[in-house]
Amino acid sequence: MFLAINLLLVAILCAFGVLREMRRKNFIGVAFAGASLLVFGWFSIMTILGGGA
């Protein structure tokens, strides 16, 4: 469960990064933060649904 919580916290920070980079109009930053958000969000949700270790 610790892993799922940490992954979720990283995904939340990535969401803030996406918003910040959108305000700065840094589209490469938006792309990298968005990709990180998708990956870490997916891993956290699947870890929680899969029972987590």
Tens-place pLDDT, residues 21-43: 999 999 999 999 999 999 999 99
* Domain positions in the chain: 2-49
Question: How far apart (Å, rounded) are the C-alpha atoms in residues 41 and 24?
Answer: 23
Tokens of 4: 């799922």
Question: Residue 51: what pLDDT?
Answer: 82
DSSP states along 1-53 = -HHHHHHHHHHHHHHHHHHHHHHHT-HHHHHHHHHHHHHHHHHHHHHHHTT--
pLDDT, average across residues 38-52: 91
* Burial group, residue 44, by CB count within 10 angstroms (0-12, 13-18, 19+): buried
